[in-house]
Amino acid sequence: MIWLPYAIGSAVFAGLTAILAKIGVRNTPSNLTTAIRTAVVLVFAWLVVFLVGSQTTIGQLSAKTLLFLFLSGLATGASWLCYFRALHLADVNQVAPVDKSSIILTVLFAIVLLGETTNLFMRLVGITVIGVGTYLMIDRSRATTPGAVRGKGWLVYAIGSAVFAALTSILGKIGITGVESNLGTALRTVVVLVMAWIVVGVAGEVPQLRKVARRDLTFIVLSGVATGASWLCYYRALQLGPASLVVPIDKLSILVTIAFATFVLHEKLRRRAVVGLVLILAGTLLMLLPAPGS
């Protein structure tokens, strides 16, 4: 199982992304944080493209595919901006489960808009379990992060992150055809980068770029590197091993995120939240079970 270390690496690096970014946004505007790390992610995205040689197919993309890549990029950018704003306002242990709940909306959109009803019962059971688990993990009453704001403000951004993440998947499914997946990701990341810097400019945060502390900048860049490393490991794992095993392992990144948040950032995880985490993992695994007779 030579693919297993790569799959585990994908989950570990994906889990580290939120932790490193959380440290970086403590004293840096969340929009600026998103813009900086997106630049780093873009480098990795194009590195993968050139590794697989899909850059030669850019000229073959249809106008429809380019349009939906653009729309998908806008949704991705909105999701990232919301996610890092939520991280700026609340604990990782609070934000991560809500963000991961995007799978609920993705499945519902796929059923209603795309007519994907294979193994429907198990999918509905799975997203119900994930929904209950997410509810148990949401804690509006406290935030241990320095400078974090109590209340529902962070929750609005976290939900926004999940909604836009789900839209990203659906837009890609509906209109992005005839494009190699890594090339699609790289092109979409270009849109995210432009969008992120436009938001930074409109918010008047460009001058603050020079004021970003070296420590914060280091962790922001490292979060981008972690995202890129996760993508590289994930792609390699899919090359070498079965997707039916690689994907579930990659989804375990939430365990890594929660573990690092608990032991590195010293965020407290209540018993109710632990039960919620178990339910989220159980619901994810339920949806990965093959349909009867398949």
**Percentage of the residues of the chain whose pLDDT score is greater than 70:** 91
Residues with Cβ within 8 Å of 271's Cβ and at least 6 positions away in sequence, in order, are none
Closest CA to 55 of 45, 63, 65, 41: 45
Helix (H, G, I), strand (E, B) or coil at 80: helix
pLDDT digits (tens, 9 = 90+) for 152-173: 688 899 999 999 988 887 887 7
End-to-end CA separation in angstroms for the chain: 24
**Per-residue pLDDT at 89:** 86
pLDDT in tens, 2-18: 888 998 998 899 889 88
> How far apart (Å, rounded) are the C-alpha atoms in residues 199 and 166?
21
- pLDDT-based confidence at residue 140 (cuts at 50, 70, 90): low
Q: What is the mean pLDDT of the chain?
A: 84
- The pair of structure tokens assigned to 262 is 């608990």
Give the pLDDT of residue 244. 54
Least confident of 110-114, 137-141, 165-169, 282-286: 137-141
What dihedral angle (degrees, nearest 10) is formed by the CA atoms of 86, 137, 139, 10?
A: -30
Q: How far apart are CA 126 and CA 196, in angstroms?
A: 34
44: pLDDT strictly greater than 90 = no
CB 246 within 8 A of CB 91: no
Cα dihedral 151, 157, 159, 162 sign: negative
Q: DSSP alpha helices (H): ranges in 90-180?
A: 92-100, 102-114, 120-137, 153-175
Helix, coil or strand: residue 77: helix
59-108 pLDDT, tens digit per residue, is 888 888 889 889 988 998 999 899 988 988 888 888 888 887 887 888 88
pLDDT at 248: 66
Structure tokens at 92: 């990782």
**Nearest Cα residue to 126 out of 9, 251, 238:** 251
Query: CA 222, 23, 156 angle in degrees (round to 5)?
Result: 110
pLDDT band at 243 (very low <50, low <70, confident <90, very high): low
- Least confident piece of the model among 73-82, 121-130, 196-205: 121-130
pLDDT at 109 over 70: yes
Per-residue model confidence (pLDDT) at position 23:
86
pLDDT of residue 116: 73
Contact in structure between 7 and 250 (CB atoms under 8 Å): yes
CB 277 within 8 A of CB 254: yes
Q: What is the pLDDT of residue 259?
A: 87
pLDDT at residue number 159: 92
